[in-house]
Structure 1
Amino acid sequence: MNNSFFSNLKSDAPAGLVVFLVAVPLCLGIALASGAPLFSGIIAGMVGGIVVTMFSGSQLGVSGPAAGLAAIVLAGIQELGAFEIFLVAVVIAGIIQFVLGVARAGIIGYYFPSAVIKGMLAGIGLIIFLKQIPHAFGYDADPEGDLGFIQADGENTFSELINMINFISPGAITIALISLAILILWEQQFIKRIKITQVIQGPLVVVIVGIILAISFSGTSMAISQDHMVSIPVASDFNGFIDQFTLPDFSAFGMIEVWVLGITIAIVASLETLLCVEATDKLDPQKRVTPTSRELRAQGIGNFVSGMIGGLPVTQVIVRSSANIQSGGKTRASALIHGFLILISAMIIPNVLNMIPLSSLAAILLVVGYKLAKPSLFKQMFKSGYQQFIPFVVTVLAIVLTDLLKGIGIGMAVAIFYILLNNLKNPFVLKETHDKAHKHYRIVLAEMVTFLNKAQILRVLNRVPNDAELLIDASRTRHIQHDVLEILSDFKESAKYKNIDLKMCCTEQLDLNGYEQSLGELMVDAKAAKNMIKEKELERPEA
């Protein structure tokens, strides 16, 4: 590893510490929601931070167990009947992801529309904010890391906000409010000018203050119960720590159910990773571009290792990645530091971690969520026009009301609808000559003409009057789909009965898809076409 990897330790070390503090309860919460051993979430956090980072090209992305896979993991463990058998599926998923990376399947990540990616960021921000409010009030029935609308405790995101009123902990909400005040104070310019605040991040101060307050509240009416604390498994010694790792049961390697689950995990984990890569790159102040196929290979290696030692599946995750960016992370070193901190703390100081109130961490995540879903982002997207704003808002709402992958799917569908709508509007230009004695018309086709343009082209062809001259100019067209060529071939026949003199000019590059013979006699070269008519633009037909 070269020196440049650690060239920004002044920024990366504090950021790695903040990501570590955010990641630990998320790792535990996702393991709990997945029906897996709690330590499997910690293992996935270690692997995501250390192994994936070593092979990844993402400068600011942080990997670990993902909430989006929790339902798949839960169902998989129940169906297979043993966690050890489930681990075989994780190993298989890792191998498949690595193969996808070698096959350069990561290019798929470049085709997600910007409006959908920004909608994903805002949607995740809103979910984080809404989900952390109960934790800030001291109600922790829903585990950290559960980002679905329907929650593990039987409530949904909004009903939980009402239900928490009956379970408010005065100590927890006091710690949350003080923590928020510290975080807001740390964002002020006059505080940032103090040198020590450039090294010691606000979230670290929040955690330390939270521990002190929790200890001081002990034995009073403000006491924080153990249910409202971080709860990492504690081993009695080093051997006990090693015993928490689990080996997969490879006797189940030939089971079809294991392979189906492995393929499912690989596909879902790859999609979630590619989405988070795009989102993280947009948040990156330096606007660096992550090599997506390399990221798939890194995730594949990570899942292979995680499955081999008893961990949950890993993906790149936006909550930790955005916390990394907001904390000033500059390079991959911050993610690596976070991974080693998880390993060291789980091995040496789990009791100290278990002294951290969840309400302190809720305050940190409330700020992370707000920054992802700032009102200014909604204003910016509104000013971009309805074709950007509507897919953005739909993505936000869909993510909040379903889950990440379903929300992205709905947002993509809306974005694609507007892409197709624009495509429908611009398949050609219709022109006519100045010569009023003769009816000269010219249709200039676009570079790509597909079946989506059929209705518009038919409508315009039907507007050409009897006894006219019509030139279909495909000199700029590279490809005409079979459906459109079929329309032109049919119109050639109907033109005879309308006394329409039909000609078509095209370049050699035009793919006629087997219609050369039927349209060949209509072809004229581009130079002859220019001499044939002088055009002026007609009003474009309504879409």
Structure 2
Amino acid sequence: MKSHVNYYLSNLGKDIPASIVVFLVALPLCLGIALASGAPLFSGVIAGIIGGTIVAWGSGSHLSVSGPAAGLTVIVFDAIATLGDFKAFLLSLVIAGVLQMTLGFLKAGLIGAFFPASVIKGMLAAIGMILIIKQTPHATGFDASFVGDESYMQESAHSSFTELLQSLHGMIHGVSPGATVVSIVALVVLVLWETNLLRRLKLVRLVPGPLIVVVWGVGFSLWAKNFAPELAISERHMVSLPELGSISNFVAQLRMPDFSYIGNAKIYSIAATLAIIASLETLLSIEAVDKLDPHKRISPTNRELKAQGFANMLSGLVGGLPITAVIVRSAANINSGGQTRMSCFFHGIFLAISVLFFAKYLNMIPLACLAAILLQTGYKLAKPSMIREFYNKGWNQFLPFAITVVAILFTDLLEGIVIGMVVGIIFVLRANFHEAMTLTQHGSHYLLRLHKDVSFLNKALLRKHLSGIPEDSTLLIDGNKALFIDQDILETIADFLLAAPDDNINVEIQGFSVENVVPTGH
């Protein structure tokens, strides 16, 4: 126990600055997702606090950050509209949490391990690209959606990627000079802060670039308001928080579920939908975070489902939104130098403290600062070098990666992942189809070698190889390396053995037998 305490304490120097960055990024997103979901504004903050403080310790992941899920906004919006009561929706969320915990105890977390790396990296790249598209309006002070998380939000859930690009085109005519200056300087600072030249300085290593960006943005905003009104950033382009001022006001914001809806069948269908989709998003995010983790730690997925389920049950009981592990905030945590679960925990604590006592000061932060931080995060997720890496790996890796990216951009996260998975499975089957057996020739001698598992899917390929053996030849069928040979394959070989003497083909078999196999038609 003492070693664990020492481990967390030794990393506080990196975890606390990272937690501040994640907190600054998560705060407006919690509010924005609540708005996009048609839920009370404070429900997003509650979900963020629970995701930070509860899931951080219940989860086995060191770097994942949990909070209100942008990918569920449309589902939540439709659920509230269907039930006609936010408190009824909270009951669905409580039941969804119980279902998630049940999935964890049933060890359903293994599902995440079956997603190919090309699909996961494609998801990361797509999220990065959408982040860049969605944050550019905030970076320039254009009047776009307040929500700027991982896309698939209110406007992008019902519109095409083309319309998003059209909104960027329209943005050119409505930029705010002040916000643009803030974001450009912020991006320059973020880039320079990671150069080897500046990283040699101890101060630069101790203070994360995003914190400098926030200080710069607040300072510029105050200066412009007093000395350069034409560059002043308007209130609608600043962080906007309700000022509570006391714990009693905080408690007054909490809402209980309405248990009188317990007999409504729609409650359970919505709960099942929330549980399944939230679990899938969490497992995909955890898988992606593990790939981004510089220490390459592996998160226990079943424990993650239990922690997320408990958090969602609690969130439903006190008036919060659905919670999942969130890749964008997790990536911001990693990019800011987070090392342990303490960074996620403190971000939750900071969320609670900020909305209680410091809303007035947080409202001085321009959204352009947060946009710049997320633009850099988006670029890191969708680096051109990643695209080149998968292209160099060959079409079996590149096409599932590219198709996942395009599918997510033009649909949403879950649909895009499903499309990517289908394509990935097709390529896996295709690769296994061609690698299951090989035919080589040396004069009139042929060697048909069976590799690993040879299933019924390879029957057509086997027939093609056998039909290509000419008359007066010798064929050796080597099955020594085959771990499994399907009955259909054995029957096809048995059929060929019966017909081979007619063409004067001498066949020898090694590593398996067809003596007890009844040929097709016999």
Q: TM-score, normalised by structure 1?
A: 0.87
Residue number among 45, 49, 56 corresponding to 1:46 in the alignment: 49
Kept in 1: contact 2:127–2:150 (CA 8 A) = no
When structure 1 is superposed on structure 2, of 285-294 and 479-488 the one drifting more is 479-488
Structure 2, unaligned runs of 5 or more? none
Partner of 2:142: 139
**Matches of 1:174 and 1:441, distance apart in 2:** 71
Partner of 1:263: 272
Residue number among 343, 351, 357 corresponding to 2:360 in the alignment: 351
Partner of 2:221: 214
Kept in 1: contact 2:48–2:348 (CA 8 A) = yes
When structure 1 is superposed on structure 2, of 361-370 and 170-179 the one drifting more is 170-179
Kept in 1: contact 2:94–2:314 (CA 8 A) = yes
**Matches of 1:516 and 1:377, distance apart in 2:** 52
Distance 1:443-1:259 versus aligned 2 partners, 3 A rule: same
Deviation per residue, 1:58-86 (Å, 9 max, x gap): 11111111211111111111111111111
Pairwise CA distance, 1:18: 0.4
Is 1:70 paired with 2:73? yes
**Matches of 1:356 and 1:284, distance apart in 2:** 29
Pairwise CA distance, 1:260: 1.3
Is 1:305 paired with 2:310? no
Distance 1:77-1:488 versus aligned 2 partners, 3 A rule: farther
Kept in 2: contact 1:141–1:153 (CA 8 A) = no
Larger Rg: 1
Is 1:342 paired with 2:351? yes
**Matches of 1:249 and 1:507, distance apart in 2:** 66
**Matches of 1:147 and 1:6, distance apart in 2:** 36
Partner of 1:6: 9
Residue number among 181, 188, 212 corresponding to 1:181 in the alignment: 188
- Counterpart residue type for residue 48 of structure 1: G
Distance 1:449-1:33 versus aligned 2 partners, 3 A rule: same
Is 1:79 paired with 2:82? yes
Q: Structure 1 vs Structure 2: percent identity of aligned residues?
A: 48
**Matches of 2:476 and 2:183, distance apart in 1:** 73
SS of residue paired to 1:218:
helix
Kept in 2: contact 1:50–1:336 (CA 8 A) = yes
When structure 1 is superposed on structure 2, of 63-72 and 213-222 the one drifting more is 213-222
- Counterpart residue type for residue 373 of structure 1: A
Is 1:273 paired with 2:282? yes
Distance 1:487-1:260 versus aligned 2 partners, 3 A rule: farther
Distance 1:301-1:462 versus aligned 2 partners, 3 A rule: same
Number of matched pairs? 512
Partner of 1:58: 61
Pairwise CA distance, 1:449: 1.3
**Matches of 1:180 and 1:385, distance apart in 2:** 34
Superposed CA RMSD in Å reads 2.8
SS of residue paired to 1:206:
helix
SS of residue paired to 2:156:
coil
Kept in 2: contact 1:119–1:392 (CA 8 A) = yes
Distance 1:471-1:192 versus aligned 2 partners, 3 A rule: closer
Is 1:324 paired with 2:298? no
Kept in 1: contact 2:140–2:183 (CA 8 A) = yes
Larger fraction in helix: 2
**Matches of 1:503 and 1:179, distance apart in 2:** 72
Distance 1:243-1:489 versus aligned 2 partners, 3 A rule: farther
- Counterpart residue type for residue 454 of structure 1: K
Is 1:148 paired with 2:152? yes
Residue number among 165, 172, 175 corresponding to 2:179 in the alignment: 172
Distance 1:186-1:433 versus aligned 2 partners, 3 A rule: closer
Structure 1, unaligned runs of 5 or more? 523-543
Pairwise CA distance, 1:88: 1.6
Deviation per residue, 1:102-142 (Å, 9 max, x gap): 22221222222222222222211111111111111112421
Partner of 2:106: 103
Deviation per residue, 1:185-225 (Å, 9 max, x gap): 32234433333333332212222222232233337233322
Residue number among 29, 32, 37 corresponding to 1:26 in the alignment: 29
Pairwise CA distance, 1:158: 0.7
SS of residue paired to 1:443:
strand
Partner of 2:381: 372
**Matches of 2:245 and 2:497, distance apart in 1:** 86
Distance 1:433-1:283 versus aligned 2 partners, 3 A rule: closer
Partner of 1:450: 455
**Matches of 2:264 and 2:45, distance apart in 1:** 28
SS of residue paired to 2:67:
strand
Is 1:401 paired with 2:410? yes
Kept in 2: contact 1:38–1:232 (CA 8 A) = no
**Matches of 1:78 and 1:447, distance apart in 2:** 53
SS of residue paired to 1:478:
strand
Is 1:287 paired with 2:296? yes
Pairwise CA distance, 1:384: 2.2
Kept in 2: contact 1:129–1:366 (CA 8 A) = yes
Pairwise CA distance, 1:432: 6.9
Is 1:518 paired with 2:521? no
Pairwise CA distance, 1:230: 1.3
Distance 1:418-1:146 versus aligned 2 partners, 3 A rule: closer
Deviation per residue, 1:135-170 (Å, 9 max, x gap): 111124212226028537968321111121232122
Kept in 1: contact 2:245–2:357 (CA 8 A) = no
**Matches of 1:350 and 1:458, distance apart in 2:** 72
Deviation per residue, 1:270-293 (Å, 9 max, x gap): 111111112111111111111122
Partner of 1:124: 127
Kept in 2: contact 1:19–1:323 (CA 8 A) = yes
**Matches of 2:472 and 2:203, distance apart in 1:** 85
When structure 1 is superposed on structure 2, of 148-157 and 98-107 the one drifting more is 148-157
- Counterpart residue type for residue 449 of structure 1: V
SS of residue paired to 2:54:
helix
SS of residue paired to 2:149:
coil
Is 1:390 paired with 2:393? no
Partner of 2:95: 92
When structure 1 is superposed on structure 2, of 412-421 and 74-83 the one drifting more is 412-421
Partner of 1:459: 464
**Matches of 1:25 and 1:85, distance apart in 2:** 26
Partner of 2:198: 191
Kept in 1: contact 2:30–2:44 (CA 8 A) = yes
**Matches of 2:292 and 2:325, distance apart in 1:** 14
Distance 1:432-1:342 versus aligned 2 partners, 3 A rule: same
Partner of 1:529: none
- Counterpart residue type for residue 486 of structure 2: Q
**Matches of 2:212 and 2:470, distance apart in 1:** 79
**Matches of 1:431 and 1:378, distance apart in 2:** 35
**Matches of 1:105 and 1:296, distance apart in 2:** 8
Partner of 2:263: 254
Deviation per residue, 1:311-362 (Å, 9 max, x gap): 1111111111111111111111111111111111112212222221111111
